[in-house]
Amino acid sequence: MSTNLSQRFENWTFKASEDQEWMPAQVPGCVHTDLLRLGKIPDPFYGTNEKEVQWIDKKDWEYRTTFDIEPFLYTQEHIELVFDGLDTYADVYVNDTHVLSADNMFRVWKADVKALVKEQENMLRIHFRSPIQEDLPKLEKLGYALPASNDQSDVGGLGDKRVSIFARKAPYHYGWDWGPRFVTSGIWREVRLEGWADVKIHDLFIRQNKVNATSAQVTAVVEVETSQPVDTVIRIGADGQRWEKDVSLQAGSHTIEVPILIQNPKLWWSRGLGEAYRYTFAAEVLQGERSVASCEVKTGLRSIRLVRDPDEAGASFYFELNGVAVFAKGANHIPNDSFITEVTRERYMHEIISAAESNMNMLRVWGGGFYEEDVFYDLCDEYGIMVWQDFMFACSMYPGDEAFLNSVRYEAIDNVKRLRNHPSIVLWCGNNEIDSAWAHYIEHGGWGWKKDYNAEQRERIWADYEAIFHDLLPEVVEAYAPGIDYWPSSPIVSLTGDEKQHAHPSTSEGDIHYWGVWHNVEPFENYNIYVGRFMSEYGFQSFPEYKSVRTYAEEEDLALESEVMLAHQKNGAGNRLIKQYMDMYLHEPKDFPSFLYMSQVLQAEAMKTAIEAHRRRKPYCMGTLYWQMNDCWPVASWAGMDYLGRWKALQYYAKRSFNDVLVSVDGTKEDVTDIYVISDQLKPVEGQLQIQLIGFDGTVHRDETLEVSVAANSGEKLLSLRNTDWLEGHDAATTLLRLALHQEGVTDIVQEHYFVPAKELALQPASIKVSGGADEDGVYLVLESDVLAKQVWMSSEVEGVFSDNFFDLIPGFPVKVKFTSREGLQQADVISNPGAAQVRSMADFIRVN
């Protein structure tokens, strides 16, 4: 950031506009969190308290502070009041003079206040207008409702009056099918005074023109404002090198481009392919040798493009990084909290490190939240996690009046400029699911929205859609982040302007959201059928673990249809669906805590089926992002990590299924088991695959070894086994295949395969022996069992993660597991100890008849 002088504000107070009492406030923050800290409202996340706080969004609120200006700042020629984020409809007053009105949560708002401020005893006051009261008249004026299927207006006491689409505000604040309805107001990002004289650098963009291993041709684009004419030098420095340009500037704003050539650059790579190296570029405005303004940014040098080339099947859809076709592995990211300012750097670190530890290389920032904090992208840059970045539009149709379009344009410019130096951002996407939901070119397609509108209304709504997503947003990306691809909607086939445009599960172009499993109650096996070129959404729900559930529910609430359990299940049929699928695939749980465990195993098995089906189809399919990475409150949802950051079974399964080298089994054909090795690494896989037929008591019935040689960044089917031949009369319900890929100097990659569905396995109670120790890598546990122990779950007294969990433990094959505390994940020198650890397996949770 620039070296301009700045000053932050303290000692904030707030109140409802109609009240007299001012109360202490925390900024950044919001009304809900301030009221909670003061004990004025109950914990919104607990029990059914969500409905108890819906009154908050119907009121106007005010925040204020008094301040003196630091003497050196006061003497500056320019003093600007800068809000990085106001949520949402706000009128700002300095010393009782109105200086700006905000109407977009996602924008930066500034006002020149030099003429209004005194050196001492100034007053800053912000009046927040109720987003509900502000937008209800817009709905009346429009004359008909626009689709907004996730807006829980009924929870908010508004009946069917959905107003979320009028506000440029985080859509999920109005509720979603995994999140509560808390329509916030407040100063949600930093507010400060900025002072400068003579010269100011407003922005530094490192435009990457052509980057490869030989050279990086980039341009430093420097935005400079001067208050008077000046002859100067713009100097750019990075890694000990310098580039300069002489310029003569008149008073006003200027954009100066400085060409830069770096020979043999260190490239930025995604996780698994190489180092995520970043350069620090510093820009200075010089008068003589004196620096009068400066600014620095970090960025990684890389070439990135979305490759959509026609082929025999349709058209490809993959990301090419530095000339390498990358199979994208990861999940969809939602906001980490209903109250954004509650998310600490530590929580962001836990999420991104968890993604990296789970062998992910991509997160999709979904369009119903907000443009994430800088720390999120910094961490993605650091850990090599590519980001698919949606603009903030999801599952709704939006107005297209001039004021709305102008607001969206400024929002897009602000955020594209803020984020464009991050090497992790590899795509900008217009919206989530709107093209396929409306399905303009298929009369009875989509989500049934169109039937509620006449022909004229339909055409107007679609024209407004195209104005935003086919015209405005791609223009902004091209102008302000050249070189980064834009994708109009997720999912979509391509912009054809006819019925071929809209995605469906069988399309062989574009990206796919496949929800037949879950919403349509299709079997897990269908994940093997509906495989597209890039699977950008699919998912299956589970509950958090018992310890997490008890943070919002009492013992008497622990029943599937209790009021509290239903309040913490935002997908209407969700609890019933989990039970329905569990009856299909797993043994019956013995009690409700067991149901929680079984729900996680069920979810994990579903996602393993999907992920590995997608990876086995490489290179036809080149991306798999499950729904979803995280939660914004404690809830039953599709997340792999619960709200408290605890890894569910899914997270551990994903770590194994996303391994850079994977042994995968397809057992969907009758009496045939197909065995694959898939590799995302940039060197060949050479080794031996050991195939063992083992009884649940540990008896090895058959043991064979196959030489393996798989080319870099590829996958192949190694062999097909006939089940009846391999079983040789052994009971399929008590026999398994153990596959182990042995490579020199590499930890064995192990996969188990069963010949019958999990529900038919003859599981016995297991006696699991646990021993432990410590080595240079930290604390470890060694587990051994007398009989097959399926889905062994270790839980620790200390918050943290195990190197493996929810795994199958076979007699004669001890498993060594390392524990890392949550603190240890983020600080390598922290010694992690799990404390008291509990070890259980599936047999401990099932009902015995």
Query: Quick one: which H or E segment has residue 708?
Result: strand 700-710
Residues 6+ apart with CB under 8 A from 550: none
Query: Quick one: which H or E segment has residue 768?
Result: strand 768-775
What letter would DSSP give residue 469?
Answer: I
In this prediction, residue 553 carries a pLDDT of 97
Is the distance from CB of 787 to CB of 697 less than 8 angstroms?
yes
Percent of the chain with pLDDT strictly greater than 70: 99
In this prediction, residue 836 carries a pLDDT of 81
Of the candidates 303, 209, 302, 214, the residue with the CA atom closest to the CA atom of residue 263: 214
CA distances (Å), origin 173, targets 176, 180, 183:
8, 7, 5
Is the distance from CB of 263 to CB of 240 less than 8 angstroms?
no
Residue environment code for 807-845, b if the CB has 16+ CB neighbours within 10 A, otherwise e: bbbbbebebebbbbbbebbeeeeeebbbeebebbbbbbb
Length of the chain, in residues: 849
Q: Which residue has the tokens 């795509």?
A: 427
Q: What CATH code would you report for 660-762?
A: 2.60.40.10
Q: Where are the domains of the chain?
A: 5-192, 198-299, 308-657, 660-762, 764-849
Q: Do domains 198-299 and 764-849 have the same CATH topology?
A: yes
Q: Which residues pair with 637 in a beta bridge?
A: 542
In this prediction, residue 4 carries a pLDDT of 57
* Distance in angstroms (rounded) separating the CA atoms of residues 77 and 722: 82
Confidence class of residue 2 from pLDDT cuts 50, 70 and 90?
A: very low
Query: What would the mean pLDDT of 805-828 be, rounded to a whole number?
Result: 91
In this prediction, residue 1 carries a pLDDT of 36
- Start-to-end C-alpha separation, the chain: 66
Q: Does domain 198-299 sit in CATH 2.60.40.10?
A: yes
Q: Cis before residue 634, ω within 30 degrees of 0?
A: no
Q: Does pLDDT of 294 surpass 80? A: yes
At 326-336, the pLDDT tens digits run: 999 999 999 99
Query: What would the mean pLDDT of 540-564 be, rounded to a whole number?
Result: 97
- Token digits of residue 844: 């401990």
Query: Quick one: which H or E segment has residue 407?
Result: helix 402-419
CA distances (Å), origin 180, targets 50, 331, 376, 562, 776:
7, 21, 23, 17, 45
Query: What would the mean pLDDT of 687-715 be, rounded to a whole number?
Result: 97
Q: Cis before residue 593, ω within 30 degrees of 0?
A: no
At 704-733, the pLDDT tens digits run: 999 999 999 999 999 999 999 999 999 999
Residues 6+ apart with CB under 8 A from 792: 768, 783, 785, 805, 806, 807, 808, 809, 815, 839, 840, 841
Query: Quick one: which H or E segment has residue 412?
Result: helix 402-419
* Distance in angstroms (rounded) separating the CA atoms of residues 437 and 495: 15
What letter would DSSP give residue 373?
Answer: P
Of the candidates 171, 168, 167, 189, the residue with the CA atom closest to the CA atom of residue 181: 171
Q: Which residue has the tokens 């955020």?
A: 415
Q: Does pLDDT of 831 surpass 70? A: no
Of the candidates 635, 653, 654, the residue with the CA atom closest to the CA atom of residue 545: 635
Query: What would the mean pLDDT of 372-378 be, rounded to a whole number?
Result: 98
For 576-584, the CB contacts below 8 A with 24+ separation are 577/518, 577/521, 577/541, 578/541, 578/542, 578/543, 578/602, 578/636, 580/521, 581/521, 581/540, 581/606, 584/523, 584/759
At 780-812, the pLDDT tens digits run: 899 999 999 999 999 998 899 999 999 999 999
At 54-78, the pLDDT tens digits run: 999 999 999 999 999 999 999 999 9
Q: Does pLDDT of 3 surpass 60? A: no
Is the distance from CB of 113 to CB of 81 less than 8 angstroms?
yes
Is the distance from CB of 181 to CB of 50 less than 8 angstroms?
yes
At 611-666, the pLDDT tens digits run: 999 999 999 999 999 999 999 999 999 999 999 999 999 999 999 999 999 999 99
DSSP code per residue over 503-532: --TT-SSS-EE--HHHHT---GGGGGT---
In this prediction, residue 826 carries a pLDDT of 85
Q: Which residues pair with 232 in a beta bridge?
A: 247
In this prediction, residue 637 carries a pLDDT of 97
- Return the CATH number of 308-657, one of 3.20.20.80, 3.40.50.970, 3.40.30.10, 2.60.40.1220: 3.20.20.80
Other residues' Cβ atoms within 10 Å of the Cβ of residue 149: 15
In this prediction, residue 481 carries a pLDDT of 97
At 195-225, the pLDDT tens digits run: 999 999 999 999 999 999 999 999 999 999 9
Count Cα neighbours of 174 within 13 Å in the Cβ-side half-sphere: 29
At 168-185, the pLDDT tens digits run: 999 999 999 999 999 999
Best-predicted range by mean pLDDT (2-16, 327-341, 819-833): 327-341
pTM: 0.96
Q: Which residues pair with 67 in a beta bridge?
A: 122
Is the distance from CB of 409 to CB of 457 less than 8 angstroms?
no
Q: Which CATH superfamily is domain 5-192 in?
A: Galactose-binding domain-like (2.60.120.260)
* Distance in angstroms (rounded) separating the CA atoms of residues 82 and 77: 16
Q: Does pLDDT of 610 surpass 80? A: yes
Q: Are strands 425-429 and 386-390 parallel, antiparallel or unpaired?
A: parallel
Of the candidates 529, 541, 489, the residue with the CA atom closest to the CA atom of residue 505: 529
Instruction: Indicate the residue type of 382.
Output: E
Other residues' Cβ atoms within 10 Å of the Cβ of residue 463: 10
Q: What rounded mean pLDDT belongs to the chain?
A: 96
Question: How buried is residue 275: exposed, middle or buried, by Cβ count under 10 Å (0-12/13-18/19+)?
Answer: exposed
Residue 846's φ and ψ, nearest 5 degrees, are: -95, 150
* Distance in angstroms (rounded) separating the CA atoms of residues 128 and 111: 17
Q: Does domain 764-849 sit in CATH 2.60.40.10?
A: yes
In this prediction, residue 41 carries a pLDDT of 98
Confidence class of residue 233 from pLDDT cuts 50, 70 and 90?
A: very high
Residue 549's φ and ψ, nearest 5 degrees, are: -60, -35
Q: Does pLDDT of 135 surpass 70? A: yes
Q: Does pLDDT of 26 surpass 90? A: yes
* Distance in angstroms (rounded) separating the CA atoms of residues 419 and 259: 21
Residue environment code for 8-20, b if the CB has 16+ CB neighbours within 10 A, otherwise e: ebeebbbbbeeee
